[in-house]
């Protein structure tokens, strides 16, 4: 992880804690979250409202790359074309339809890919 990424994580957490704490500034601290990023150490004081908000924020996260699980290998890495990056099989009804159509395509199936994906 690059230093900029670590700085971004620390800054985001600091801002999150400050923002949520602003809604209940009188809440008592319940603990400290110690973060170590490279050679830096940051201690964020957590109140109960901040701790609950942090848990809710993490639990509510949905990765935009999450397209469910592969029906064949249960892998989590499905690409935009519903192809599993682990077992390389098409996933779901739409994936099966794409595979069927690609199998009937008379030309080079690689030509079906867009220029960005087909470029070396
Ligand atoms: Zn798979």
Q: Which domain holds residue 76?
A: 65-113
Ligand 1 centre from 117 Cα, in Å? 20
pLDDT of residue 114: 60
Ligand 1 centre from 97 Cα, in Å? 16
Ligand 1 centre from 112 Cα, in Å? 21
Q: What is the mean pLDDT of each run of 10 residues along the chain (120 residues)?
A: 84 96 96 88 95 97 92 92 89 81 78 56
Ligand 1 centre from 92 Cα, in Å? 11
Task: State pTM to two decimals.
Answer: 0.66
Domain-ending residue, one of 22, 37, 59: 59
- Spell 82-112 as b/e; 16+ CB within 10 A means b: bbbeeeebbbeeebeebbeeeeeeeeeeeee
Q: Note whether residue 120 is domain-resident.
A: no
Q: How many domains does the chain have?
A: 2
pLDDT of residue 2: 80
Closest alpha carbon to 81 in 56, 62, 98, 105 = 98
Ligand 1 centre from 72 Cα, in Å? 5
Q: Note whether residue 118 is domain-resident.
A: no
């Amino acid at each position: 992880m690059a230093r900029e990424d670590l700085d971004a994580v620390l800054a985001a957490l600091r801002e999150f804690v400050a923002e949520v704490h602003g809604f209940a500034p009188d809440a008592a601290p319940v603990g400290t979250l110690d973060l170590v990023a490279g050679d830096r150490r940051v201690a964020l004081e957590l109140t109960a409202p901040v701790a609950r908000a942090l848990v809710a924020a993490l639990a509510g996260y949905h990765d935009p790359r999450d397209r469910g699980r592969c029906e064949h290998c249960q892998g989590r890495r499905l690409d935009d074309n519903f192809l599993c990056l682990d077992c390389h099989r098409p996933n779901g009804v739409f994936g099966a339809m794409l595979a069927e159509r690609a199998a009937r395509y008379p030309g080079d199936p690689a030509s079906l890919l867009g220029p960005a994906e087909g470029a070396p």
